[in-house]
């Protein structure tokens, strides 16, 4: 009889403690994901600031954080598994605050880029270890629901970043945005100190060669993705970046297959559950950040909204994510993962396509499409998060979190790059003939209006047309890739049923 009493005693405190831990890691997640979205709203202010950034420098001010974040997020998760997830999470939050402070105080573009990169290092330590901390703080029977809620928060982060960023930028300058992050990150670090218990580190040794190769391959891949829209996809630099990335990726696979304790064993991607969930996560964030990239500018140019109005206008998308996340695990148990993902990708794809016709329609129509997109995210994010985490053992929870974060950041970068390319191509093609004969052709609304102030209405119309084309492409890619993810999920589900009957 003593064993059941012991179990009962152990499960009371952890259930209370796990609630505090869940709230803590959700706050940390919203902070680091939100900054990815918030910086897009600050671009117009940065462009006319005393830093005088060039168009290329402006692009890297936005992307430096994402590049460092994406490159180091898997090693960041491995560091938590090896040295202790609580300590690495706290170190990440302090590093995040330091990078934001440097960004807020920067006197030139170089210092701002340094601050953004340091903030990215902090984010890479924070996000994967949120998963590791949550897995080890939550009892197995509660873990699915906790991961579902946390997964929804990864989607909420971008929305909160839009809203909070808009409010901060309206109240101050771009420096206000970075300055406000410092106390929030430090408060999250204090919250982690108080609420999170230390977990035993894994005895696995680090894999420095594999880590270096993976980081280098990711960096070159992201350079190709980010520079593609700016330099053209056929430029020598972009092609070389992709080629080097492939070579480094092949070298990484070669090394990882031969070391005793690889950072991330490539053979894991032969697990259908892991590969399907990773692809699904990439597709989700392709669509979401493609939307975030367009949304603020489309609302400001197409509807005449202020920065704050543009940030608040996306609130309807949060409603299904706030209300539905806790019910998704029960829904998955009733209808299964394939049907849940089918509904999710269908909702997102149709919602993105619907927005292409809502630019000049009443706001309620626009909001209804956002609710549909939010419903898709509410269904898919918790489902994919739980599946990806379950595909790896608990002692590799940090690596699992890192893999989730890496696929999210890669999907975000792809979404911005591809949507941005379609937008620019369509925008320049629909500009007035007088501007199309300029060398170089204006690539932004600001450049075009500065060159031809009397044709502002036509220029804004060209931008709206380009944004509509870009949303149509995002919708098509999401639907097509979603079909592949769902087909793989059906196949995985069938294999599970066969193995369980045997």
What pLDDT does 1 receive?
38
Domain residue limits, the chain: 12-206+263-496, 207-262
User: Could you give the CA distance from residue 326 to residue 307 in angstroms, rounded to a whole number?
Assistant: 32
Token digits of residue 168: 């901060």
Tell which wins on pLDDT, 372 or 288: 372
- Does 452 have pLDDT greater than 50? yes
Q: State residue 206 phi and psi, 5-degree precision.
A: -75, 165
User: Could you give the CA distance from residue 225 to residue 227 in angstroms, rounded to a whole number?
Assistant: 6
Tell which wins on pLDDT, 443 or 91: 91
pLDDT band at residue 177 using 50, 70 and 90 as cut-offs: very high
Q: Are 385 and 262 in contact (CB under 8 A)?
A: no
Tell which wins on pLDDT, 351 or 268: 351
Tell which wins on pLDDT, 211 or 296: 211
Instruction: Output the DSSP codes for 442-492.
Output: P-SHHHHHHH-GGGHHHHHHHHHHHHHHHHHHHHHHHHHHHHHHHHHHHHH
**Range of 108-112, 166-170, 287-291 with top mean pLDDT:** 108-112
For tokens 């004969």, the residue is: 437
3-state secondary structure of 98: helix
What pLDDT does 140 receive?
79
- Does 442 have pLDDT greater than 90? no
- Does 253 have pLDDT greater than 90? yes
Burial (CB < 10 A; 0-12, 13-18, 19+), residue 17, is: middle
What pLDDT does 3 receive?
38
Residue of 99, 36, 62 whose CA lies nearest to 408? 36
> Residue 17 is inside which H or E element, if any?
helix 2-47
Q: Please state, rounded to an integer, the average pLDDT across all residues of the chain.
A: 84
What pLDDT does 436 receive?
80
Q: State residue 305 phi and psi, 5-degree precision.
A: -75, 155
- Does 387 have pLDDT greater than 90? no
- Does 147 have pLDDT greater than 70? yes
> Residue 426 is inside which H or E element, if any?
helix 397-429
- Does 129 have pLDDT greater than 50? yes
pLDDT band at residue 346 using 50, 70 and 90 as cut-offs: very high
- Does 176 have pLDDT greater than 50? yes
CATH of domain 12-206+263-496: 1.20.1250.20
Note the residue count of the chain. Answer: 502
CA angle 404, 32, 24 (to 5 degrees): 90
What percent of the chain shows pLDDT beyond 90? 26
**Range of 96-105, 188-197, 375-384, 434-443 with top mean pLDDT:** 96-105
Can you list the pairs that 168-174 forms with residues at least 24 positions away whose Cβ atoms lie under 8 Å?
168/38, 169/41, 169/42, 169/45, 169/307, 169/308, 170/306, 170/307, 170/308, 173/45, 173/49, 174/42, 174/45, 174/46, 174/49
148-to-185, 317, 383, 435, 471 alpha-carbon distances in Å = 23, 17, 7, 50, 28
What pLDDT does 254 receive?
94
pLDDT band at residue 4 using 50, 70 and 90 as cut-offs: very low
What pLDDT does 7 receive?
32
Could you report the per-residue pLDDT of 66-91, keeping only the tens digit for each? 888 888 888 888 888 888 889 999 99
């Amino acid at each position: 009889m003593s064993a059941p009493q012991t179990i009962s005693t152990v499960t009371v405190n952890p259930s209370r403690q796990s609630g505090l831990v869940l709230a803590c890691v959700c706050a940390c997640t919203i902070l680091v994901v939100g900054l990815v979205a918030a910086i897009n709203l600050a671009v117009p202010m940065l462009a006319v600031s005393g830093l005088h950034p060039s168009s290329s420098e402006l692009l890297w001010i936005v992307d430096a954080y994402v590049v460092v974040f994406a490159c180091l997020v898997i090693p960041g998760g491995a560091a938590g598994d090896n040295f202790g997830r609580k300590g690495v999470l706290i170190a990440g939050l302090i590093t995040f605050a330091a990078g934001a402070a440097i960004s807020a105080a920067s006197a030139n573009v170089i210092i701002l880029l340094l601050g953004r990169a340091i903030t990215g290092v902090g984010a890479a330590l924070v996000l994967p270890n949120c998963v590791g901390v949550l897995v080890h703080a939550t009892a197995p029977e509660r873990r699915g629901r906790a991961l579902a809620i946390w997964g929804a928060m990864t989607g909420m982060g971008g929305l909160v970043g839009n809203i909070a960023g808009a409010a901060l930028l309206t109240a101050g300058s771009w420096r206000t945005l970075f300055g406000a992050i410092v106390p929030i990150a430090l408060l999250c670090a204090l919250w982690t100190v108080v609420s999170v218990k230390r977990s035993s580190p894994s005895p696995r040794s680090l894999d420095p060669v594999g880590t270096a190769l993976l980081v280098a391959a990711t960096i070159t891949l992201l350079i190709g993705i980010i520079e593609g829209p700016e330099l053209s996809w056929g430029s020598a630099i972009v092609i070389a970046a992709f080629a080097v990335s492939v070579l480094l990726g092949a070298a990484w696979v070669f090394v990882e297959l031969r070391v005793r304790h690889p950072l991330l064993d490539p053979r894991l991607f032969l697990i259908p559950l892991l590969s399907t969930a990773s692809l699904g996560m990439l597709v989700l964030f392709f669509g979401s950040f493609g939307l975030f990239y367009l949304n603020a500018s489309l609302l400001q140019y197409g509807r005449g909204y202020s920065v704050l109005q543009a940030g608040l206008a996306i609130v309807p998308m949060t409603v299904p994510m706030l209300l539905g996340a806790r019910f998704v695990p029960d829904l998955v148990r009733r209808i299964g993962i394939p049907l849940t993902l089918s509904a999710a990708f269908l909702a997102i794809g149709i919602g993105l396509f619907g927005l292409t016709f809502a630019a000049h329609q009443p706001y309620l129509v626009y909001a209804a499409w956002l609710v549909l997109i939010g419903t898709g995210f509410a269904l898919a994010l918790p489902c994919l998060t739980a599946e990806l985490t379950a595909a790896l053992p608990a002692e590799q929870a940090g690596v699992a979190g890192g893999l989730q974060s890496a696929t999210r950041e890669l999907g975000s970068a792809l979404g911005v790059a591809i949507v941005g390319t379609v937008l620019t191509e369509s925008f320049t093609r629909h500009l007035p003939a007088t501007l199309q004969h300029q060398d170089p052709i204006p690539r932004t609304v600001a450049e075009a209006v500065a060159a031809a102030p009397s044709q502002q209405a036509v220029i804004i119309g060209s931008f709206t047309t380009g944004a509509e084309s870009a949303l149509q492409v995002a919708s098509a890619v999401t639907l097509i890739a979603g079909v592949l993810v769902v087909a793989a999920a059906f196949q995985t589900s069938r294999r599970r049923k066969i193995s369980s009957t045997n």
